[in-house]
A and B are shown apart, each in its own frame.
Chain A
Amino acid sequence: MKALVLIAPALLALAGCATVQPWEKGKLARPEMTFGGDKLETRYADHIYTSREASSGGAGVGGGGCGCN
């Protein structure tokens, strides 16, 4: 019983995991899939962020969804 209580949420959590292959990102690459409202503003904010954090990406699928940068 106790094991079931442990395993059931784990299985539910796993069901939410899916490997999205690079060629399956067509829907993720759509502009409405990003948080930002304005494309130029998002790019600007991302540029500043990159220079401060020495890291980039994470603000949508890079370069139109190619997953390569």
Chain B
Amino acid sequence: MSARTTRVLRMAVVLAAALEASSASALDKGAAAPAFDLPGKDGTVQLAKYQGKLVYVDFWASWCGPCRQSFPWMNEMQARYGAKGLQVVGVNLDAKTDDARRFLAETPARFTIAFDSAGTTPRAYGIKGMPSSVLIGPDGKVLYEHAGFKEADRAELEQVIKKALGGAQ
């Protein structure tokens, strides 16, 4: 292999590494959840404001089928465990917020909704699929992460929430 070819190959490797580095990595359990301050459906939504509560942050978009399926379940969770200290926060990731508003008109959300069209929050959280959810403890630390939403996930996720609420007392 000539010196020039080696140099070209080395450049290619560096470029590939640079491209690879642009994808964020997921959060570890126990890590501090990245703070966010986003415009919401009813005023700004700040993660710091929910400190002391169990926060279920769900990343969703109007074009995502499983996200639509998860909405009735999240309404149910908010209704059932809201008084016990659970706060569901749905962070919308549509590029056009109008698409999200149209979705919300047909799919009611009885929990906090925030809009992040720039995608800074999912990048900070290292989201790998849609929908993705992160359960944040009252101390602001990540307790649990989940990607996707299937009917079969309902019971497991509820169990995790129940357990986290039990431990908080």
A14 at the interface (CB under 8 A from B): yes
B64 touches A29 (CB 8 A): yes
Chain B residue with the shortest CB-CB distance to A64: B65
Which residues of chain A from 28 to 69 have any CB-CB distance to chain B below 8 Å in the complex? 29-30, 63-69
Knowing A3-B4, A66-B131, say if A19 contacts B19 (CB, 8 Å). Answer: yes
A6 at the interface (CB under 8 A from B): yes
Which of A7, A10, A19, A29 is B63 in contact with, Cβ under 8 Å? A29
A22 touches B130 (CB 8 A): yes
Chain A residue with the shortest CB-CB distance to B16: A14
A-B CB pair tally, cutoff 8 Å: 79
Q: How large is the interface on B (under 10, 10 to 19, 20 to 34, 35 or more residues)?
A: 20 to 34
B119 touches A66 (CB 8 A): no
Chain B residue with the shortest CB-CB distance to A66: B130
Taken together as a complex, chains A and B put the C-alpha atoms of A68 and B59 apart, in Å, by 13
In the bound complex, residues from chain A placing their C-beta under 8 Å from that of B137 are none
A17 at the interface (CB under 8 A from B): yes
Which residues of chain B from 43 to 71 have any CB-CB distance to chain A below 8 Å in the complex? 59, 61-68
- B144 CB to nearest A CB, Å: 16
A26 touches B15 (CB 8 A): no
- A22 CB to nearest B CB, Å: 5
Which of A19, A30, A66, A69 is B67 in contact with, Cβ under 8 Å? A66
Taken together as a complex, chains A and B put the C-alpha atoms of A35 and B68 apart, in Å, by 24
Taken together as a complex, chains A and B put the C-alpha atoms of A17 and B147 apart, in Å, by 25
B8 at the interface (CB under 8 A from A): yes
B30 at the interface (CB under 8 A from A): no
B66 touches A19 (CB 8 A): no
In the bound complex, residues from chain B placing their C-beta under 8 Å from that of A67 are 128-130
Taken together as a complex, chains A and B put the C-alpha atoms of A69 and B130 apart, in Å, by 10
Knowing A3-B4, A23-B130, say if A66 contacts B65 (CB, 8 Å). Answer: yes
B11 at the interface (CB under 8 A from A): yes
B22 touches A6 (CB 8 A): no
CB within 8 Å of A: which residues of B? 4, 7-8, 11-12, 15, 19, 22-23, 59, 61-68, 93-95, 99, 119, 122-123, 127-132, 147-149
